[in-house]
Structure 1
Amino acid sequence: MKIYMGEDYKGMSRKAANIISAQIILKPDCVLGLATGSTPIGTYDQLVNWYEKGDLDFSKVVTINLDEYKGLSGDNDQSYRYFMNKHLFDRINIYKENTYVPNGLEADSKKACQEYNDIITKCGGIDMQLLGLGHNGHIGFNEPGGAFEKETHCVNLTKSTIEANKRFFEKEEDVPRQAYTMGIKSIMQAKKILVVVSGEDKADIVKEAFTGPVTPEVPASVLQLHNDVTLVGDRAALSKML
């Protein structure tokens, strides 16, 4: 595993964007696995900045997102499709038909998940998967205790996840109770994995995930078994790894 440190969030974001941009330059038609959440926003902003300067071309890039709330349409401002459009896709020269997010409006969970697995296969797999890291070690919506062997599946969101997400909604009842997410197996099949972490509040889980035992109780710990993982964090998040 490679570890890179930025002094602060901006420095971390720039280093992560450097790694993604190198992937795009080396393979212009690469398949990028993307993540939502507050941590990657700075990385996306930096990629947009380089695109605007003419340094990056996204016209052949394909993207596959980790997850989506079940029951939300892509034009709902709390959906992950909306998030990706706002923070990245609407700001670069990517073709929307080459950007994939699980279909939150597909009520048949088995169908939705199989269709998404088929998309990943059709695209030839993921060249680089970007991941954030939850306080309890979750990646995507793969919560502690889940099975490592799962591909895309429907999950019931935990109370802690609903609690963490309710700030984005008008009231707690509006927070979806289920989501479609790539499973650990899907994530581990990516050729390269890039994990971004920021803030002192992530320091404990970073250490636990990357130096502790590999266990479903800390989903991100399985990344220790992948042969090409890069961890990029700011000084605060990596403080217990130094």
Structure 2
Amino acid sequence: MEIVIVPDAAAGGELIAAAIADLLVRKPDALLGVATGSSPLPIYQALIAKVANQALDVSRARICQLDEYVGLPQGHPESYRAVVLREVVRPLGLTETSFMGPDGSAEDIAAACADYDRALAAAGGVDLQLLGIGTDGHIGFNEPCSSLASRTRIKTLTQQTRVDNARFFDSLDEVPHHVITQGIGTILEARHLVLLATGEAKAEAVAQTVEGPVAGIVPASALQLHPHATVVVDEAAASKLKLADYFRATYAAKPHWQGI
């Protein structure tokens, strides 16, 4: 696991966008896993700017989804499919044919979960998966005590998560109780995992993820098991890292050509 400490969220977004650009130069049809929420927005903004400036060709890139609400009708503006299309796919000049995700409106949710795992494998696997982290250390919707071997499956949202997400709906009653999420085992199959965390509220979760034991109580700690995981944090999110100075020195001494 590599830890990169950056000045702020914008710098983190630029760094990760540059890594994605390098990947697309090497593999123009790379499958990019995207996450929703506020954390990855600086990455998408930096990528969109590169495309607008004609500094990056994403025309053959493919996008896949990390999670989805269960029970929202197709086309609902707050489904994660709609959010990804609105915030990532269309601004990059791509179409829905470049995009894949689980079907949260399926009658047989268990089958839809298994179908999505198979679809990811059939697509050649995820080349780079973007991740955020919750204050409790969750990734995707793999809440604390999720199995580290879990596959894409249905999960029940905590009441706090529903309250947090109610701002996107007219009322709390409209927030779904369930989601489909890639499991930790599914996430770990991506070739490169990149987690961006910003703000002091994420500092404890980052410290437990990076320097604590691998444990289901902190699902993101499973990144320690991955051969190519990068954790990018701003100064605030890095504030509880005991080895922060070591991480800074290691990255400063890294050959520029190696990237992240």
The answer to whether the superposition gives a TM-score over 0.5 is: yes
1:82-93 equivalent positions in 2, closer than 5 A: 82-93=82-93
* 1:25 pairs with 2:22: no
Q: Unaligned regions of 5+ residues in structure 2, if any? A: 245-260
* 1:42 pairs with 2:52: no
- The residue aligned with 2:159 is 159
Cα distance, 1:225 vs. partner?
0.8
Equivalent pairs, count: 242
Please give the alpha-carbon distance, in whole angstroms, between the structure 2 residues aligned to 1:4 and 1:18: 14
- The residue aligned with 1:130 is 130
Please give the alpha-carbon distance, in whole angstroms, between the structure 1 residues aligned to 2:175 and 2:227: 36
Please give the alpha-carbon distance, in whole angstroms, between the structure 1 residues aligned to 2:204 and 2:149: 26
Q: Report the more deviating stretch, 218-227 or 155-164.
A: 155-164
Q: 3-state DSSP class of the match of 2:90? A: helix
CA gap 1:42/1:73 in 2 versus in 1, 3 angstroms: farther
- The residue aligned with 1:192 is 192
Please give the alpha-carbon distance, in whole angstroms, between the structure 2 residues aligned to 1:214 and 1:78: 33
Please give the alpha-carbon distance, in whole angstroms, between the structure 1 residues aligned to 2:71 and 2:100: 17
Please give the alpha-carbon distance, in whole angstroms, between the structure 2 residues aligned to 1:118 and 1:58: 25
Please give the alpha-carbon distance, in whole angstroms, between the structure 1 residues aligned to 2:149 and 2:239: 31
The answer (yes or no) to whether the contact 2:68–2:81 under 8 Å persists in 1 is yes
Cα distance, 1:98 vs. partner?
2.0
- The residue aligned with 1:231 is 231
Cα distance, 1:118 vs. partner?
1.5
Amino acid at match of 1:154: I
Cα distance, 1:95 vs. partner?
3.4
- The residue aligned with 2:114 is 114
- The residue aligned with 1:11 is 11
Please give the alpha-carbon distance, in whole angstroms, between the structure 2 residues aligned to 1:115 and 1:125: 14
Cα distance, 1:91 vs. partner?
1.1
- The residue aligned with 1:59 is 59
Please give the alpha-carbon distance, in whole angstroms, between the structure 2 residues aligned to 1:202 and 1:159: 20
Cα distance, 1:74 vs. partner?
4.6
* 1:183 pairs with 2:183: yes
The answer (yes or no) to whether the contact 2:63–2:89 under 8 Å persists in 1 is no
- Identity rate, percent: 37
Please give the alpha-carbon distance, in whole angstroms, between the structure 2 residues aligned to 1:109 and 1:103: 8
Amino acid at match of 1:38: S
Please give the alpha-carbon distance, in whole angstroms, between the structure 2 residues aligned to 1:28 and 1:218: 34
- The residue aligned with 2:250 is none
Cα distance, 1:93 vs. partner?
2.8
Please give the alpha-carbon distance, in whole angstroms, between the structure 2 residues aligned to 1:138 and 1:82: 23
Amino acid at match of 1:204: E
Amino acid at match of 2:216: P
The answer (yes or no) to whether the contact 1:71–1:107 under 8 Å persists in 2 is no
Cα distance, 1:107 vs. partner?
2.5
Normalised TM-score (structure 2): 0.90
Give deviations 1:156-209, integer Å, cap 9, x for gaps.
Answer: 111221122112211111100000110011001111100000101111110011
- The residue aligned with 2:149 is 149
Please give the alpha-carbon distance, in whole angstroms, between the structure 2 residues aligned to 1:11 and 1:109: 39
The structure whose Rg is larger is 2
The answer (yes or no) to whether the contact 1:57–1:93 under 8 Å persists in 2 is no
Cα distance, 1:14 vs. partner?
1.2
Q: 3-state DSSP class of the match of 1:237? A: coil
Cα distance, 1:101 vs. partner?
1.8
- The residue aligned with 1:240 is 240
Please give the alpha-carbon distance, in whole angstroms, between the structure 2 residues aligned to 1:126 and 1:89: 16
Please give the alpha-carbon distance, in whole angstroms, between the structure 1 residues aligned to 2:7 and 2:66: 28
The answer (yes or no) to whether the contact 1:28–1:58 under 8 Å persists in 2 is yes
Normalised TM-score (structure 1): 0.96
Give deviations 1:31-70, integer Å, cap 9, x for gaps.
Answer: 1111111011111011000001111112211111100001
* 1:222 pairs with 2:257: no
1:93-112 equivalent positions in 2, closer than 5 A: 93-112=93-112
